[in-house]
Structure 1
Amino acid sequence: MKKIFKLILTIGLIPLLVSCNEFEEVNKSPNNVSNISPNFLLSSTTVSLAASYTNLAMFNGRVSPLLQYYQKNDGYKSEEFNALIWLPNTSSIWQGTYSNLVHVKAMSDLAVAEDNVFIEAVALVYRAVYMDLITKIYGDAPFSETNQLEEGIVFPKYDEQKEIYETLLIDLRTAKEMLEGISGNEVPVLEGYDLLYDGDKDKWIKFVNSLRIRMCLLLNNKKGELSVDVDAEFQDAAKNVFTSNEDNAVIYYLGTSESNSFSDGPFNNSIISFSERVGEGFLDSLRQQNDPRMYRWLRPVERKWDRDISTETTIEYADPLGQTFPIELLPYPAGYEDLNTDMYIGIPIGNDVSWTGFNAGPYANSDEPKFSPYLSRFADMYYQNANEYVNRKIITYSEVEFILAEAAAIGAFGVTDADAHYKNAIEASMDTWGIFDDYVGGFDFNDFYNQESVDLSQATNKHQRIMTQKWLSMWLRPEPWFDWRRTGYPNFVAPYKADQPALPIRFHYDTPNPPDPQYVLKYNEAVENLEKSEFVQATSTDDHRSRMWLLQGTNMPY
């Protein structure tokens, strides 16, 4: 127990992890650490892990505006979000991630003490997921020397990204083998504490293998530089990955308190501004292929311009999922040439000021456009404490099928039949959003798929089509950012009011604070391993458009 206390104390001392307030929260548990069960830490770290992935691309995150899923239509920091003005030390996940790794290490130590191989294996997996996230966002990062205060290491070195991934690949394989070695069909865990799979060993093995093929594909462009055989790792893992949506690694909100409710529900957000509005390009992509997921994710406009009426009237609109909405139809005003008359309307990408008043015509200067009834807003489920369709996803069957489809399309890892995997991926996504259950009159997926804009066999560039459909299917999730960085697809255009004609490819490191010379030295060593792209204008290489090892020498994404 003394070791666990020092473990947590270490994290409080090194300035790369937590603020004073956060340290006080972390430092509560050592007083009663002997009473903590690794089962309890399993449930809490699972929730934290799922939240870390979700929050990166959810509301108030920087990744979804970059992916052009949404834009801010009000004035609060809209220029930062929409024009991708990423300032140092903003929207960092550095402190939170390393704070969570403290709990993962404590869980591992307790599992070893209790000889619980299952939770020890899960700790290896969770450490790998967190470190994968931190290194692919920043580059080199503290890893091998963290949590070693007993050894006198207060300021751990930043491990090179290449070395981190070599370790993570081995750790995930080791965790898989540990799980396989557990006898029986269930893992040793107290009832109710395994929030992902309720003790189902087979699902845990599929989960780990699915994470492995995700990581191998991420490393495909750099596998020749690694000491680990990435092809062999992928092929071993692909034998037993997710095979249906029943395998999805998802944590649902309960909606009974602030801590277990969605961030924009009433428990956590008493005033709803509807400031996030769908990006015009994303919406157009859905509309052009008659994608029914659009109706799950978005509401129609509340006030719609209509060229065929002369008097204002209200109608009851029913969408294809059977949802009904009152909509005010307004006569198209004279003197305006470019007002959008569609039922679903997004906002253009990249303005550096508020979009308030966009498409409002003669009402643009009134109080009403602050709530933008002339634009589509997100579906009501995004403003509830809990909803079955709003959850925290780590990895899903649909993503796994997209991974296999891409691997087959580019001739990697010996995977074949890109068309079948691609089709399965889209169908699985639609299933998770309840399209087949709720579509009025029934939804014919084959009719949807056979469209020239969807069918993979009709694509002139299969790789681009797979990545574009993956981007659509992974709405409000961060992985398409990492996909775009290594493939260049989808072909995003930089925001027209952006400060640089290129999208960010990493987060700026947290500046050493306090600026202890040892910490600054290690930070500078990590920065030196970054490579400036042609779009870096700053003196420092620690820039949002500098290339980390993952991207160096790949000519991606620019």
Structure 2
Amino acid sequence: MKSSSYILFALTVLLGLTLSSCEDLTERNKNPNNPTEVSPNFILTYVLTNTGKLVFNLGNDGSKIGAAMQYMQVGTNENAAVVNQYAWTQDDWRGYFDILRNNQLVYEAGVRENNKFFQSVALVMKSYLYGLLTDLYGDIPYSESLQAKAGTFFPKYDNQADVYKGIMTDLKQADALLSALEAKDAIQPTADVMFKGNAAKWKKFTNALRLRYAMRLSEKKGEMSAMGVDIVAEFKAAADQAFAANGDDATIAFLGTEKDNSAKGGPMNSSNPNFLLKPGKPFVDKLLALKDPRLHRVIQPVQRKWDRSVTRETVVTVTNLFGENYSVTLVPADDKSADTSLYVGLPVGLPITQAISYNKGSDNTAYHNERNPYISFLHERYRKNADPLVPMNLMTYAEVEFLLAEAAQRGDFGITDAELHYKNAIRAAMTKMGVFESNAFNFDAYYAQPSVAYAPAGNKLERIMEQKWISSWFGVESWFDWRRTGYPALKAGVVAQYGDAIPVRYIYPSPSLDPKYLVNYDAAVSRLGSTSFIPSGQSKDHHYAKMWLLQGTSKPW
């Protein structure tokens, strides 16, 4: 990313602090002694970069979703109960609405300047952010939100179905606007840190999101049809207009030059290297079983490896598929239960004392809680300010191909050749992770494995979703996919706080005690579906309550 993009980023962080107010910002920015208008270009940069960081942090760096999808666990007592045991508490959504307020300014500027490009981009980002909110929480403030300047301080929580209808409507409108752009409609390339002002790519992103949400609603087609939204028609209309290559991805790179534009795990944002996160054993074991080269891109070998072929400690150099060298000490294995793998993940949901000392066996050395050398660390790139393989992904071509594969497998979305799309999806995901930089990797041999290939799979939907889970490493879509399909068939850990199940929603932020707020909050909570995992006497505002999207589907449990 060019230096000009960084300058704009720094400027718009300052703008964002000003623009987060609920005041009439159009009026605030008018000075009779120095009349100015804030350019929507500056505000757009703020919207995009902060959305990217928000999505990145949802799945990375010790997130609840990353743990729920068993990409990682916490190998120390710090935050272990929340992450490993699903002891989820309230989640703040002010950051989402801060971005949405700024995004509304972009839309209003587009209307004021009769610029269809700004209008369409703002509609896409509005859909993306409200989509995340309703995916996470269920019913949310939507139709009455962002209206403080009109006196609406306590917006109602719209039914989730109405929110999804609004999202599908806005994406369809954005697509129409992008198809009708004129020469006067433009965005500064430096302000658009995602697509550099490329309208064709914004149109592909718009239609990729239509595919995502049409499939999200696949189990609710009848109810959405009654509301005037034909999910199948929406999918068909978008299918050949979405991402067609990795170069289309909705991705923003970290710059790594200062705290605000650096990844959370790097030294700009963390005074100590983050070693408390450990790769989850189910994920590591799956990659090992499939001989998946992405293992070497995201996980390091153990520093001390139990080995039954040595009689004394022996230091060796291990070179991974991509030529990276690691020093590994082979330790005589005197315990049959020792994990002798070169790559060792932390089992899901262990009690804290067991997680800290996992796989140490007879080694009584007092290692730092975060640096147990018998468990693999995440790859070094997750402790850097920036790395080409650790971007902020809003949506990828690989996801689109997985969606097309699923649509073809289901058979009612007008898409054919599920295997072709499935294979394309795996190849695209591997390309994004730089797998083909290794001459030692043979994709056809990988795909030919009975546990990877589409044709031999007894449950083809499960096969698609398993590979999508692998490809969504540290992303949030795998959680949303798992909720609606039940795949992959992940099991909760032994000390999961509320039983043998993985959570299905975020808990609303702590409610305001103002009666005008509580009436709306209570109405939303009353519409949540109670489940057997919610202890008697506890509120239905719970991470095991089912939102409308899951009610009546028997998914994921």
Contact 1:357 1:370 in 2 (8 A): no
Report which stretch shifted further, 496-505 or 186-195: 186-195
Q: How is 1:330-345 mapped onto 2 (pairs within 5 angstroms)?
A: 330-333=331-334, 336-345=335-344
Question: Is structure 2 residue 312 aligned with structure 1 residue 311?
Answer: yes
Alpha carbons 2:75, 2:369 under 8 Å: kept: no
Counterpart for residue 329 of structure 1: 330
* Post-superposition CA distance 1:498-523 (Å, at most 9, x none): 1222111111111212x000100110
Deviation at 1:365, TM superposition (A): 5.3
Number of the residue aligned with 1:404? 404
Match of residue 213 from structure 2: 215
2:292 equivalent in structure 1: 291
Q: Could you tell me which runs of 5 or more consecutive residues in structure 2 were left unpaired when the two chains were aligned.
A: 1-15, 31-35
Find the residue that maps to 1:531 and give its secondary structure.
Answer: coil
Quote the offset at 1:71 in angstroms: 0.4
2:83 match: 81
What does residue range 241-280 of structure 1 map to in structure 2 within 5 Å?
241-280=242-281
Once residues 411 and 536 of structure 1 are traced to their aligned partners in structure 2, the CA distance between those partners, rounded to angstroms, is 36
Q: Is the 8 A contact 2:275 2:370 kept in 1?
A: no
Q: 1:24, CA displacement in angstroms?
A: 7.3
Deviations 1:207-259 (A, max 9, x none): 10001000000001012111211111111111211111010000001111111
Structure 1, 367-376 or 57-66: larger mean CA deviation: 367-376
Q: Contact (CA 8 Å) 1:318, 1:325: kept in 2 or not?
A: yes
SS at match of 2:261: coil
Post-superposition CA distance 1:154-178 (Å, at most 9, x none): 1111111111111110100000110
- 1:424-457 Cα distance to aligned partner (Å, 9 max, x none): 00000110111111x1x44211110000000000
Q: For structure 1, list consecutive stretches of 5 or more residues without a partner in the other structure.
A: 1-21
Where 2:288 maps in the other structure, the secondary structure is helix
Task: Letter of the 2:162 partner, please give it.
Answer: E
**SS of alignment partner, residue 250 of structure 1:** strand
Give the partner amino acid of 1:418.
A
1:420 partnered with 2:414? no
Using the TM superposition, give the Cα deviation of residue 49 of structure 1 relative to its aligned residue in structure 2, in angstroms.
1.5
Q: Which residue matches 1:463?
A: 461
The alignment partner of 2:555 has SS state of coil
Query: Structure 1 CA distance, aligned partners of 2:72 and 2:464?
Result: 21
| Residue aligning to 2:119 | 120
Look up the match of 1:5. none
| In 2: Cα distance, 1:25 partner to 1:263 partner | 24
CA distance in structure 2 between the aligned counterparts of 1:318 and 1:60, rounded to whole angstroms: 28
When structure 1 is superposed on structure 2, of 49-58 and 459-468 the one drifting more is 49-58
For 2:279 and 2:19, locate their aligned partners in 1 and report how far apart those are by CA, in whole Å.
Answer: 36
Task: Give CA-to-partner distance per residue, 1:466-505, whole Å, 9 cap, x none.
Answer: 0011001110000011111111111111111112221111
State the alpha-carbon separation in 2 of the partners of residues 346 and 165 from structure 1. Answer: 38
Amino acid at match of 1:194: D
Matched-pair contact (CA < 8 Å) for 1:54–1:477 = yes
Structure 1 letter corresponding to 2:161: K
- Residues 458-467 or 144-153, more deviating: 144-153
Alpha-carbon distance, 1:374 to partner: 1.0
Partners in 2 of 1:49 and 1:395 — Cα distance?
12
CA distance in 2, matches of 1:204, 1:364: 57
Q: Which moved more, 1:370-379 or 1:289-298?
A: 370-379
- Indicate the residue corresponding to 1:433 in structure 2: 433
Q: How far is the alpha carbon of 1:352 from its aligned partner? A: 3.4
- What residue identity is the alignment partner of 1:312? E
Tell me what 2:100 maps to.
101
Distance 1:252 1:296 in 2: 18
CA contact (8 A) 2:356 2:370 kept: yes
Structure 2 Cα separation of the partners of residues 94 and 323 of structure 1: 40
Shift of 1:194: 1.3
Letter in 2 for 1:77: N
Contact (CA 8 Å) 1:250, 1:392: kept in 2 or not? yes
1:158 aligned residue: 157
Q: Is the partner of 1:208 in helix, strand or coil?
A: helix
8 Å CA contact 1:58, 1:477 repeated in 2: yes
Q: Distance in 1 between matches of 2:495 and 2:318?
A: 36
How many Å apart are 1:273 and its aligned residue?
3.9
Paired residues of 1:273 and 1:371 also in contact (CA < 8 A)? no
Asked if structure 2 preserves the Cα contact closer than 8 Å seen for 1:357 and 1:372, the reply is: yes
Q: Distance in 2 between matches of 1:485 and 1:368?
A: 36
User: Are residues 363 and 460 of structure 1, via their aligned partners in 2, closer, same or farther at CA, if it must alter by over 3 Å?
Assistant: same
**46-55 or 355-364, which deviates more:** 355-364
**What code does the residue aligned with 2:39 have?**
S
CA apart distance, 1:23: 7.7
- Residue of structure 1 in register with 2:204 after alignment: 206
Contact kept in structure 2, 1:73 and 1:277, CA below 8 Å: yes
Could you say what the CA RMSD is over the residues aligned between the two structures, in angstroms?
A: 1.8
Q: Equivalents in 2 of 1:280, 1:412: separation in Å?
A: 36
Deviation of the 1:361 alpha carbon:
2.1
2:5 maps to none
Shift of 1:390: 0.5
In structure 1, the partner of 2:10 is none
8 Å contact kept, 2:279–2:376:
yes
Deviation at 1:368, TM superposition (A): 4.7
TM-aligned CA distance change 1:494 to 1:28, over 3 Å? closer
The answer to which of 254-263 and 352-361 deviates more is 352-361
Q: Is the 8 A contact 1:187 1:200 kept in 2?
A: no
How far apart, CA to CA, are the structure 1 residues paired with 2:283 and 2:50? 29
Contact 1:65 1:71 in 2 (8 A): yes
Matching residue's letter, 2:257: T
How far did 1:293 drift?
Answer: 0.4
Q: Contact 2:62–2:74 (CA<8 Å) still a contact in 1?
A: no
SS where residue 331 of structure 2 aligns?
strand
